[in-house]
Amino acid sequence: MVFEKTIEEVINENYVYARALHYLGIDFFENSSRKLVEVCRERGLNQQQVIKNFYEFDSSARCSFKELSSYPIELLVEYLKHTHHIFIKEKLPYIVHLAKTYENPALRDLMPEFVEDLIRHIYEEEDTTFKYIHALHEINKGYEKAPISRLIYFEDFSLKDELAHHEGEDELGAIRTLFDLLENNNLHGRVLLNELKAFDREMIYHAAIENQILFPKAISLEKEVLKKITSLSKLN
Ligand SMILES: [Fe+2]
Ligand SMILES: [Fe+2]
C-alpha cells in the first residue's frame, strides 16, 4: 500500500508524484524519510484526494501529432497557447522551486536566465506569429472589413524568416549541459533531473508541433488570403 511507504520510496517509484505532493503543500525533500500516511494525516489530506492527484499528474493529457495535424489552425493556436500557460504557470514555477531549494550554484545561476529567455520567447511568439495567424484567419473568414490595413501592421513580419529562426532555437541547451552534474545524486537531485528532462522533451515536442504543423498551415493560409485580397482588389 502506497501510504505505508516513505515519501522517498513513493517518489523513487515515480518522480511525478513529487510534483503532485507539491501541489498538495508537501515538499518531498523536507519529509522524505517519513511515511506518506503520517504526513497526510498531519496535513489533514484525504487519501482519495492524494491518489487522485497522483493519477492526474501522471496522465498528463497530450495530443498526438496526427490529431493536431487535423485541427483547424485557430484551434491549434489555442492548444499551443494553453500549453504555454501550463509552462509558465505550473511547470516552470515548480522547477524553479526545486532548483532554488537544491544546493547547486551552477544550476541556481543558470535557472533565472533560462526561465527569462523562455518566457520572452513565449510572449514574443504570441504577440507576433500567433497574432498574425489570427489576423489571417479573420480575413480568410471574411470577419475583417479592412484586410489590407490589418495586414500592413505585419509588414515587417515574415512567416518563413520566423520559421527559420524558430527551427534554430534551443532554449534548454544551456540547462542540458548540467544534466551530468545531477546524475547519480540524492533524491532531490534526481527529481530535479527527471523534471528537467521531461520538460526538455516537452519543449522539443512543442517546438516540433509549431515547426511542422503550425507554420506550414500558416504559410498555406497566408497564400490563400493573399490570393483572395488580390482578386478583391482587381474587382475594385
Ligand atoms: Fe510555443
Ligand atoms: Fe516556439
Q: Which pLDDT tens digit goes with each residue over 45-75? A: 998 889 888 888 877 667 888 889 999 999 9
Q: Looking at residue 1, what is its pLDDT?
A: 79
Q: What is the DSSP letter of 6?
A: B
Residue 158 pLDDT exceeds 70: yes
Three cell numbers at 192? 530535479
Total domain count for the chain? 2
18 Cα: distance to centroid of ligand 2 (angstroms): 28
Q: Where on the phi/psi map is residue 25: left (φ > 0), alpha (ψ -120 to 50), or beta?
A: left
Do 39 and 94 lie in one domain? The reply is no
Do 131 and 147 lie in one domain? The reply is yes
168 Cα: distance to centroid of ligand 1 (angstroms): 14
Cα–Cα distances in angstroms (integers) from residue 87 to residues 84, 110, 119, in the given order: 5, 18, 9
Do 137 and 208 lie in one domain? The reply is yes
Please report which confidence band the pLDDT of residue 177 belongs to, taking 50, 70 and 90 as the band edges: confident
- The whole domain housing 40 covers 2-58
Cα–Cα distances in angstroms (integers) from residue 136 to residues 41, 86, 131, 217, in the given order: 55, 26, 9, 11
Burial class (CB in 10 A: 0-12, 13-18, 19+), 117: middle
Q: Residue 207: what are its φ and ψ, rounded to 5°?
A: -65, -35
When mean pLDDT is compared over 41-55, 123-137, 195-209, the highest value belongs to: 123-137
Mean pLDDT of the region 129-135: 97
183 Cα: distance to centroid of ligand 1 (angstroms): 29
Cα–Cα distances in angstroms (integers) from residue 76 to residues 10, 92, 173, 225, in the given order: 36, 22, 26, 18
d(CA 94, CA 109): 17
51 Cα: distance to centroid of ligand 1 (angstroms): 31
Q: Mean pLDDT, the chain, as a whole number? A: 90
Do 37 and 131 lie in one domain? The reply is no
d(CA 42, CA 55): 22
- The residue with greater pLDDT, 200 or 236, is 200
- The residue with greater pLDDT, 222 or 178, is 222
Do 197 and 181 lie in one domain? The reply is yes
Q: Looking at residue 61, what is its pLDDT?
A: 61
Q: Which of 58, 80, 106 is the last residue of a domain?
A: 58
Do 97 and 171 lie in one domain? The reply is yes
Three cell numbers at 196? 528537467
210 Cα: distance to centroid of ligand 1 (angstroms): 7
Do 30 and 140 lie in one domain? The reply is no
Please report which confidence band the pLDDT of residue 204 belongs to, taking 50, 70 and 90 as the band edges: confident
pTM score, two decimals? Answer: 0.83
Burial class (CB in 10 A: 0-12, 13-18, 19+), 149: exposed
Q: Looking at residue 236, what is its pLDDT?
A: 65
Q: Which of 43, 58, 73 is the last residue of a domain?
A: 58
